[in-house]
């Protein structure tokens, strides 16, 4: 396997282009030596990736279009597209949601740190709803709701195989995978995690470009662990379709990412005290997959 592909598979928070930049910048060593992205990794090779820290001073406003679902003087609810990183990370110093927010809400620049306004996060390749606080007191109030499990979240996920029964809960503790530290795994002694699911639709295709069995579910995580939904469903033998990290490396479906969308978000407004709830429709790439699966075989 190529060196850049090898690292991309093991460091899911970094894109392949970001890995390639780090290799070009000399941040990767293979058996103690600098190497090219195209170098083939072999059994027993030692690969060391040095990820430089993000410097908050690098944050600059960028005029990136935002899909705003709701806005008032206290907060925003944004429909984040797949492929956008929420906050700066190694290999992603620009083009993030934070960069876009700094241009849209210049007052966020007064907040300290490299995540101004960010209350929670979504994986780079997970689309959907994310809340943004316009002030630090509002951010702390919203984060407290997350800590007390008062935020209502629902995701739409397409899973490999037919998941039975039609309703259930996956309760499994999660922690870093001891063999692949950038991955999460079910680990005894890890942090407790629970995901409730409801089956929405089953699909069966015996041939063609979508061959296989699939299940569309509404997943409601009661906790917010890293990669929780993806790892939980993979642990019961039904990984999220298109998830090359925790599922099949290749899927017959026309997917460039995992089929996972943060569809619904509900919480108590930190200023008015009202219970509010928002929804974001499936983006076109995921909706197109369902159209294919719903066609008569």
* Paired sense of beta strands 260-268 and 127-133, if any: parallel
For residues 72 and 132, the answer to whether their CB atoms sit within 8 Å is no
> 16-52 burial string, b = 16+ CB within 10 Å, else e?
bebbbbbbeeebbebeeeebebebebeeeeeeebebe
> 58-82 burial string, b = 16+ CB within 10 Å, else e?
ebebeebebeebeeeebbbbbbbbb
| Residue 2: Cβ within 10 Å count | 14
Cα 22 to Cα 17: distance, rounded to the nearest angstrom: 9
Cα 30 to the center of its chain, rounded Å:
29
For residues 150 and 169, the answer to whether their CB atoms sit within 8 Å is no
Cα 143 to the center of its chain, rounded Å:
18
Alpha helices in the chain (DSSP H): 3-10, 16-24, 97-104, 136-147, 228-235, 284-294
For residues 197 and 220, the answer to whether their CB atoms sit within 8 Å is yes
Classify 144 as helix, strand or coil: helix
Classify 288 as helix, strand or coil: helix
Cα 131 to Cα 171: distance, rounded to the nearest angstrom: 26
DSSP state of 97: H
Cα 11 to Cα 174: distance, rounded to the nearest angstrom: 17
> Catalytic: which of 4, 79, 114, 123?
123
Copy the structure tokens of residue 41. 């990794």
Q: Is 125 a catalytic residue?
A: no
> Which residues participate in catalysis according to the annotation?
123
């Amino acid at each position: 396997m190529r060196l850049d592909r090898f690292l991309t598979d093991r460091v899911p928070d970094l894109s392949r282009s970001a890995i390639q930049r780090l290799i070009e910048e000399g941040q990767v060593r293979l058996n103690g030596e600098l190497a090219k992205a195209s170098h083939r990794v072999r059994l027993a090779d030692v690969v060391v990736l040095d990820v430089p820290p993000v410097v908050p001073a690098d944050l600059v406003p960028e005029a990136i279009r935002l899909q705003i679902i709701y806005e008032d003087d206290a907060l925003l609810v944004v429909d984040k597209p797949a492929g956008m990183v929420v906050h700066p990370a190694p290999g992603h110093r620009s083009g993030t949601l934070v960069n876009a927010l700094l241009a849209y809400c210049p007052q966020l620049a007064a907040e300290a740190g490299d995540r101004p306004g960010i209350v929670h996060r979504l994986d780079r390749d997970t689309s959907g709803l994310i809340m943004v606080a316009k002030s630090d007191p509002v951010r702390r109030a919203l984060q407290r709701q997350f800590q007390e499990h008062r935020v209502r979240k629902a995701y739409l996920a397409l899973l490999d195989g037919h998941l039975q029964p039609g309703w259930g809960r996956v309760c499994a503790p999660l922690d870093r995978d001891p063999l692949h530290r950038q991955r999460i795994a079910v680990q005894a002694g890890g942090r407790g995690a629970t995901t409730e699911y409801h089956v929405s639709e089953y699909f069966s295709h015996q041939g063609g470009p979508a061959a296989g069995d699939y299940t569309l579910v509404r997943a409601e995580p009661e906790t917010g662990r890293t990669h929780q939904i993806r790892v939980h469903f993979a642990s019961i033998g039904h990984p999220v379709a298109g998830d090359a990290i925790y599922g099949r490396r290749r899927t017959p479906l026309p997917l460039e990412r995992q089929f996972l969308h943060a569809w619904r978000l509900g919480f108590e407004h930190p200023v008015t005290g009202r219970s509010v709830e928002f929804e974001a429709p499936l983006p076109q790439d995921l909706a197109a997959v369902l159209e294919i699966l719903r066609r008569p075989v």
